[in-house]
Amino acid sequence: MKVVTRQALFALMGSWVLLPASFLMMGRSLDWWEAWAWCVVLLVPMTIFGLWMARTDPDFIARRLKMRETERAQQRLGVIGFPFNIATLAIPGLDHRYGWSQVPVGAVIAALTLSLAGLLLILRVFVENRWAGRTVETWEGQQVISTGPYGIVRHPMYAGSLIFWLATPIALGSWWAFLPALASIPILVLRILNEEEVLRRALNGYEGYVRKVRYRLLPQVW
């Protein structure tokens, strides 16, 4: 597992370098405070959590480092969603450089708070469910988790991701980047529907969990 720990450390260090560097390249300005604040909101909790998990549960880190989807439907969704994800992070830099948007400071701070809330929900899910891999598949010995946030909705990690992803453009000071971020909603819905098909056929006890927890993503909505 030492190899997994090294890979996790390299990924964390790379994030601290590549993410700010990409924003600097797109925004062409050190005065883009929204970008640096967002990097802190994202990277500090991720680093603390990642180092802790690498020490206490390297198997979880190994599952999170696995990137290749085995489900064809998930592969297609990844291809479709990739350009929208890139646009969501790239447009704010161009927006800042050319002054397309004027987002009030209060709105930026609110969006940064929502970004942090979404990320903390994701990390809370990881604590509750050590089987939460990056890819849609089941693992040997995996059990259905119905405690914590899983007692409220069936896919709390995706709920946190949705909050985080929709708040990010505003947190970065761009109204225009909110448009490609909206594409995450239908893509996430399709991902959830396919993932539930996989879990129903491959994870023992999941059918009973579906009957117990009615809503997939948002309580009283869906």
Predicted confidence (pLDDT) at residue 174 exceeds the cutoff of 60: yes
Tally of domains in the chain: 1
Q: Is residue 220 part of a domain?
A: no
The answer, yes or no, to whether residue 206 has pLDDT greater than 70, is yes
At 131, is the pLDDT very low, low, confident or very high (cuts 50, 70, 90)? confident
Chain mean pLDDT for the chain: 89
Reported as a single tens digit per residue, the pLDDT across 76-120 is 988 999 999 999 999 999 999 999 999 999 999 999 999 999 999
Over residues 146-152, mean pLDDT: 93
- Of 78, 74, 77, 68, nearest in space to 197 by CA: 74
Amino acid identity, position 31: D
Domain-located, residue 222: no
- Is residue 219 assigned to a domain? no
CA distance to 3, 15, 180, per residue, from 104 (Å):
45, 28, 20
Supply the range of the domain harboring residue 159: 2-212
CATH number at residue 99: 1.20.120.1630
The answer as to whether 218 is a domain residue is no
168 belongs to a structural domain: yes
121-139 CB burial, b ≥16 within 10 A, e <16: bbbebbebbbbbbebbbee
HEC profile of 10-61: HHHHHHHHHHHHHHHHHHCCCCCHHHHHHHHHHHHHHHHHHHHHHHHCHHHH
pLDDT per residue as tens digits for the range 22-81: 999 999 989 999 999 999 999 999 999 988 888 888 878 777 777 677 788 888 988 999
